[in-house]
Structure 1
Amino acid sequence: MSAPRDEFPADEAVNPADLPQGDELTIGQERVLELISYVVVNLVSHPAEVTVDILRRQDRDVYQVKVNPEDLGRVIGKGGQTARALRVLLTAVSARTDQRIGLDIVE
């Protein structure tokens, strides 16, 4: 069971391993985290440097993807096409899981 959103300050990064007992990620959050990790790790040249954190904002979970600066272009894609495609995929997932999901890509 996840904690109510108002227990977390806005934009607080949540590392799944650091969550206290009883405040675990939901199955939907775990699946989204795995999906994003899988896609991004398979796009980049430095997969060991990929991290995905969850930022809890007022009404949504924002998944923040950090990659090696050399890989940023691969994840964003020409004209933002790859990032847009990943966001479309997350929109489909959010409709199915009743979650509001956002994506931030940072170096």
Structure 2
Amino acid sequence: MAINFEKLVKSITMPLVVHPDAVLVKILSEDEEIINIQLVVHEADLGRVIGKGGKIASAIRTIIYAGAAKEGRKIHLEIDAF
């Protein structure tokens, strides 16, 4: 069963932000080995998603890396604000 990484990233991020309507998750590219995902949040929520010292961003990446490893793939998460 394939993991929907777009939905996974969004479900992890939504409770963290103040502006949930501004959360946008896009798969930039996907092939058999690597998936590139972009997470875009409101500028005011960027600190909440990255966390102090990048701990929350690191935790999000760890979760999606584990899911990708289960499928034998690699994943790259890019976090941006608008």
Give the TM-score category using the shorter length.
0.7 to 0.9
TM-score under structure 2 normalisation?
0.88
TM-score, normalization by structure 1: 0.69
Q: Distance in 1 between matches of 2:59 and 2:11?
A: 14
**How many Å separate the matches in 1 of 2:42 and 2:67?**
26
Give the ranges of 4+ consecutive aligned residues of structure 1 lying more than 3 Å apart after TM superposition. none
Aligned-residue RMSD, C-alpha: 1.7
2:58 alignment partner in structure 1:
84
Paired residue total = 80
The counterpart of 2:12, out of the listed 34, 39, 45, is: 39
Q: Tell me, what secondary structure is at the counterpart of 2:79? A: strand
Match of 1:97 in 2: 71
The percentage of counterpart residues that share the same residue type is: 37
Unmatched runs of 5 consecutive residues or more in structure 2 = none
Give the Å deviation of 1:99.
2.2
Partner Cα distance (1:62, 1:41) in 2:
20
Classify the secondary structure of the residue corresponding to 1:83: helix
Greater relative CO (CA pairs within 8 A, separation 6+): 2
Q: Structure 1: 5+ residue runs without aligned partners?
A: 1-26
The higher radius of gyration belongs to 1
Higher strand share: 2
